[in-house]
Structure 1
Amino acid sequence: MPAMSPTMTEGNISAWKVKEGESFSTGDVILEIETDKASMDVEAQDDGVVAKIFAEDGSKAVKVGTRIAVLADPGDDISNLEIPPDDSQPVQSEADNVKGGEDSKYESSGVEKEIKGTPQNKRPAEDKPTTSPSGPGQNPKYPLYPSVITLVHENHISDEEVAKIPATGPNGRLLKGDVLAYLGTIDSDYTAKLAKRIGDLEHLDLSGIKILQPAAQPTAATATTIPPAPEPLKTSSVSLTISLAEVLKVQQRIQDTLGVTVPLSTFLARAVDLANDDLPRPKGQKSSADDLFNAVLGLDTVPTTSRGAYLPQIDALPARSSTKSPPRPSAKKPDIIDILSGKAVPERSARRPSSSGNKLSTADGALNVFSLAVPVGEEKRARTFLERVKTVLQVEPGKLIF
């Protein structure tokens, strides 16, 4: 059972993630351990195979240091392996957690690695440091950090040597860097240099900061001249008279035939959309990136037309004034005595004038002016658009609906 913290003396096995006979790789979770404080996963330090599990799922109050399983190396035939006798040494107090030396045959996960009687499965111990530690060692008042315990067990450092390794941690505690320096993995002064650098970075150095002086307000003599505003874009107006008589006829025909009223705006919107397709490219307009890319690849030539975005303004022509005959002077009404004596003839009622002379024809009422305001140089393109609108609305407006 591994010690997952300096104060841990026992734990419960929640579940084995790898069963007997199954292989695992470095970093895989082997089992889940539960204590009175938290649940933790135990990861594999090397590749291997689970040879035998002694503490099954749900085991309670398993002492730290108690053998819970035996692991074999990858590729071993576990059916022929001899399981060594249990010589584990469970801890009795929190102080036992910080001791090493004799527990070197256990991984940091607390699982026994050696298998007695099978030399091919034993891992040779690493060479111990040749130099003897000197200087103030670990403060016995504090337990070792878990990382230090793991490093001590992996390198088979005895308790006597651990007590003599110079400790540079807070309150005289032994750091992982102290052990690495003792093993010769890093420079002996690396820990001191790192501590000094961290101490220097704790304080922000503001000595190189300069206060920015406020900018002087420009006077009339030093004030820069304001650049002139860009000239407004010069535009030109293009207009064309278009009759909507045919559109009104098609609209009435649809109403009489299908009983559906198609708004006039529908005819106009579809005619405008159709007329905007493939208009001549205006002078000076640059080709788009897609056009140039296709031209370089030879996929297509640079087109000479493009889609427009024109939306004309529509104004109706003013109605023509009807000609009316001047009012006739009112005749004197004859006396009733003259009428009875035959001297006067009663005036006949005047015939009502025909209303056809005052009514505008449908064609006259359907005339409208379509106009566009375009930049100078686009007059030809705009006129082509209006001509297309006129052709669609006056010649074949029915195609806009059917």
Structure 2
Amino acid sequence: MFRLAIKNRACLRQLHQCRTMLKAQAFGMPAMSPTMERGGVVDWKFKAGDTFSAGDVLLEVETDKATIDVEAQDDGKLAKILKENGAKDIPVGEPIAYIADVDDDLATLEFPKPVEAKKESKPVETKKEEAKPVEKTDKKKQTSASKTPSKNGSVQANASQTLFPSVLSLLEENNISTADALDKIKATGPNGRILKGDVLAYLGKISQDSLNKVTEYIKSHEKLDLTNIELRPARETAAAAAAAQAAKPAKPLPLVLSEQITLHVPENVTYSQLSAAIASYVKECSFLAHDEPLTNDASELYDPLFEELLVQEPTKPRFKVTYNIVDLEPTPRHRTSSPQPDIFDLLSGTTTQELQQEASAVSKQQQTRHEYALNVSVAVDESLTDAKQRAENFVAQLSNLELFQ
């Protein structure tokens, strides 16, 4: 943010004896950069007659690059606004408002007449028209002088330039007219522009050597050095990208535990009964595998509260179970008919009823069973440290079915 210095002119006003003879000070369009020539008023933060303090934002100025706040350096009063909000293409230095001291009475304050400035400029214009050949030669001399800088880097000041507010303020403080400044003060700014440092060096407040060093440093960085710039390497082709993708290590496959349990079920048990019983048993085994402690709970060192603190995300499932039941004997077995007596039975006098009783006794001793396969798949959540062990406990618990056949 740029800060515009608004100098207090109280020392000059002390020369006047009567308060009615006090004059307001012209506030020109500020130059917010060395190359700025014109600007616009975006928004006044104070109205005519309002007082302001040092550090207050007086207005927003629009340049060709940005919108910048202009702050007050000293206390004062906004006496009159010449350029309202939205005014554009205002030359640098042209009055946009009048300012006064905080204690000034606006009713008795005298404002400079802008008409007089125009009258003074007219004779200059007529002189230019009358002596056009002389102007051309003068311009050539000025340009030639500006093109031939001295050893210290300064050139003759450009007579057509608009001085910065900081330069104008410094000249007025030291009673130096604009004409004398353009004629006597050497310029180190671009295109023969007088900078504040040039005025300070002319007044002897800073050394010429210090000004020369600053000028040389600025001029050495005026041009962008592109000698160290290197071309960016070409982008990888599609084939190279595919090869790089293929070279990346493959993601590890998730851990899945599989188990097949063979079940020999009596023929009088239906498939629906078997499926319901297995579903209940799988649910119970899964609950126990998640709930039972992994350490020896009979040990004297076992502490259930401490163990719960060590469990990682206790409510999150450690594994997921999927299973299916496969009928290994889909074709029903052939049932023999009632036994018929053979020749030996007839000769021995054995009746058909006796043969049926013998067959029923044999069938009770050798009861037939139906064979099923229970295929179980357990997907382990490897992000949890105890998941694999609990999944293995579940499979081991489920395998106990084979012991009860």
TM normalised by structure 2 equals 0.41
Normalising to structure 1: TM-score of the pair? Answer: 0.41
